[in-house]
Structure 1
Amino acid sequence: MIEIVLTAVWLMLPAYIPNSTAAVFGGGKPIDGGRKLADGRRIFGDGKTYRGLLAGTICGMLLGLLQTYYLTVNGTVLGMELPSFGKVPGALIVIFTLAFGSLFGDMFMSFFKRRLGLKRGAPLPVIDQLDFVFGAWLFTYMASPVWFTENFTYWIVLTVLIVTPLLHFVTNLVGYFIGVKKEPW
């Protein structure tokens, strides 16, 4: 059981880190440029910025590259054989799609939250905890279906769907208490 949880978290690390690093290093020009749709609501809102998208993607990719390097040098992590992201250039594609896809998933749900009339930071339980996971999975599956299906087995997927909301809750509380998030969800 512990091996499945560690494998699930290991595979998702490049997707887990981008949203928090986008919040820390983001800011600046919003991706939607302040534009509104016909419903009078912003497309994404001020929380989705070019700098955040770039910083989050880069940080997710750097973490994935560090994981790849560590696994290449050491062969195991905590004595366990964990899956790799593949060989270059395929590994770069997988790591990029996990990182960028997670931010896209979050941005995509922000679009729908605006359509529902929810303001920036308003909670949308379950969706807020898993939107980035589905974005990462979708992009990674589209770019590398064989790698995805070999690594995201039934048990890994189930574990990610259970563990991620718990991790999301804890990291959001930490972000709130250190002042990088305005709300604890």
Structure 2
Amino acid sequence: MIDLIILSLWFMLPAYIANPAAALFGGGKPVDLGKKFRDDRRILGDGKTYRGFIMGSMIGASVGALQLVIAPHIAPCFAEYVDPEAFTSISYLALITLPVGALIGDMAKSFIKRRMGYERGQMLPLADQLDFVIGAWILTYIVDPSWMLANFTIGIIITVLLITPILHLSTNIIGFKIGAKKEPW
């Protein structure tokens, strides 16, 4: 079980970092430019900004690049739990698609929430915690399907789906306490 948790965290790290980085370094011009959809509600809302998208993507990709550099050096530390070859198999494409897809998934969820009448910050359980995972997986599968299928086994997928809501809530509480988020979810 520990091997699934370690690999799940390792493979998802660029996506996991993107969302809090976008919240922490975001602000400025909203992606929807303040425009409304045909239902007279904002397309996305003020929480989805160009700066947040760019910074979240860049920081997530930077974490992925760092993983590429350090993986061969730290893989032996996890050899008892994880095959070092799996640990070092980060894809150059995935280090970009995971964070970008995560932020696109978050924007897609915001679009859907606005259509459902949810205001910015209102909680939509599970969708709020897993939107970025689904976005990261879809974009990565489209761009690098062989890497995605080779590394995201059923065990990894189930583990990610189970641990992500806990991690997401924890990081959001931290973000709320440091003032980077307006709600603790």
Please indicate, yes or no, whether the TM-score normalized by the shorter chain is above 0.5.
yes
Unaligned runs of 5+ in 2: none
Letter in 2 for 1:84: T
Shift of residue 41, structure 1, vs aligned partner:
0.4
User: Contact 2:8–2:159 (CA<8 Å) still a contact in 1?
Assistant: yes
Give 1:83's aligned residue: 87
CA contact under 8 A between 1:21 and 1:55: conserved in structure 2? Answer: yes
Please give the per-residue CA displacement for 1:8-36, whole angstroms capped at 9, x wherever unaligned.
01000000001100001000000000000
Deviations 1:130-185 (A, max 9, x none): 00000000000011111101100000000000000010111111111111111111
The number of residue pairs the alignment matches comes to 181
Paired amino acid for 1:19: N
Q: Aligned pair 1:145/2:134, yes or no?
A: no
How big is each residue's C-alpha offset from its partner over 1:53-110, in whole Å with a ceiling of 9 and x where there is no partner? 0000000001011111001344434444243344xxxx33111100100000000000
CA–CA distance in structure 2, aligned partners of residues 163 and 120 of structure 1? 25
Shift of 1:3: 1.1
Contact 2:75 2:88 in 1 (8 A): no
RMSD: 1.2
Q: Which runs of 5+ in 1 are unaligned?
A: none
Equivalent pairs: percent with the same residue? 49
Provide the rounded CA distance (Å) in 2 between the counterparts of 1:4 and 1:109. 27
Are 2:97 and 2:140, in contact at CA under 8 Å, matched by a contact in 1?
yes
Contact 1:44 1:114 in 2 (8 A): yes
Please state if 1:38 is matched with 2:38. Answer: yes
Rounded to whole Å, the distance in 2 between the matches of 1:111 and 1:84 is 36
